[in-house]
Amino acid sequence: MKVAFFAETADGKITRGAWELLAWSRTLAAPEKTAAVIVTPSIEEAQLQKLVSSGARHVFLCESPALDRADIPACAAILQSFCETYRPDVLLGAASVFGRALFPYAAMRMKTGLTADCTGLETDRQTGLLLQTRPAIGGNVMAVIKTPSHKPQMATVRPRSAPELPPYGGEPGSITRFPAPDSQSLPGAPRVTASIRLTHGEEIADARRIVAVGKGIKREGNIDLARRLASRLGAALGATREVVDRGWLPYSAQIGLSGKTVVPELYIALGISGAVQHLAGMRTARKIVAVNTDPDAPIFQVADLGIVGDLFEVVPRLIDEFSPKTK
């Protein structure tokens, strides 16, 4: 099976999501059957060399200063041209803001199916088809989807769901460069006209430690308590959807199916009952500590350490415990 992935770039560098897609590609296909396609106004040469030395055996690069990375019609046309030439069985993209805009449009152009926001990928040993796993019905079930009749089999993959990229000691890949099409001949599709860098969201996605709050925090003013604990631990502050819906924290802090997927070393859940939608975004954290008054709260089923108690009593003691000690 030939597996290709769309490698996004930002400021001349390959994004984290692209490296995760490389990891997925290497678990699905033989080394000589992995490929990356890059569409960018510019990219650092060192990034390309790192990609080919990390297991992407074929890198197809469309680089032009005149090419707007956010030009969805042009990127879709390039993907279609690439697929018609290389003919991959599978084409993967990151479930990023741009990937979620590009891949449905590209799938429509190529008249194939698309499974969005996958959390798992594997190969069906009997049919050789891609098994695409994604949450469904509000996260209450995990659906396994196949695309048996059309190719490429297309999927976008949720961030932080990939296996760790293992070291690669094989033969380095090759880089093929090709020109960009005239995007002016491709009207009628959506275009990204502006982008805003959300620092808080990036902090959550990359944080080694996270303190998250749920409805058990009771009111917006009480979030300062969690913020103080996060400050003591050098942690980012996250939240459940209910907290965000109430306007207590911005959407960029939301963790779960409709927010960020995070894999920190430490995740402290304060007043979070553990709805399936939230667990889907944080259950792969290395260590989970939960504080809740309900001993039957689902969050305790995934927690490494559960504290049955009032967070307004527990958190001040934790803050005191992690405060600098004076001699």
Please tell me the total count of domains within the chain: 2
Higher pLDDT, 147 or 69: 147
Distance CA(239)–CA(216), nearest Å, equals: 11
Q: Give yes or no for residue 66 having a pLDDT over 90.
A: no
- Residue 192 inside a domain? The answer is no
What is the per-residue pLDDT for 276?
Answer: 85
- Residue 82 inside a domain? The answer is yes
At which of 129, 156, 185 does a domain end? 185
For residue 91, give Cα distances in angstroms to 6, 25, 94. Answer: 7, 9, 11
What pTM, to 2 d.p., does this model score?
A: 0.74
Q: How confident is the model at residue 211 (pLDDT cuts 50, 70, 90)?
A: very high
Q: Are residues 251 and 140 in the same domain?
A: no
Asked whether the beta carbons of 255 and 198 are under 8 A apart, the reply is: no
Q: Are residues 155 and 224 in the same domain?
A: no
Between vectors from CA 160 to CA 147 and to CA 177, what angle results, nearest 5°? 70
Q: Are residues 309 and 224 in the same domain?
A: yes
Higher pLDDT, 20 or 169: 20
User: What does the mean pLDDT of the chain come to?
Assistant: 87
Share of the chain above pLDDT 90, in %: 61
At which of 130, 151, 185 does a domain end? 185
Q: Give yes or no for residue 190 having a pLDDT over 60.
A: no
Tell me which residue of 8, 184, 152, 169 sits closest to 82, measured CA to CA. 152
- Residue 173 inside a domain? The answer is yes
**CA 218 centroid distance within chain:** 30
Q: Are residues 20 and 167 in the same domain?
A: yes
Q: Are residues 170 and 210 in the same domain?
A: no
Q: Are residues 42 and 163 in the same domain?
A: yes
Structure tokens given for 190: 């959506």
At which of 127, 150, 185 does a domain end? 185
Q: What is the per-residue pLDDT across 122-169, written as a single tens digit (0 to 9) for each?
A: 999 899 999 998 877 655 677 899 999 999 999 999 877 776 777 788
Q: Are residues 294 and 213 in the same domain?
A: yes
Rg, Å, the chain Cα set? 22
Q: What is the per-residue pLDDT across 259-283, written as a single tens digit (0 to 9) for each?
A: 888 888 999 999 999 998 899 888 8
What CATH number is given to the structural domain containing 265? 3.40.50.1220
Its domain, for residue 148, covers 3-185
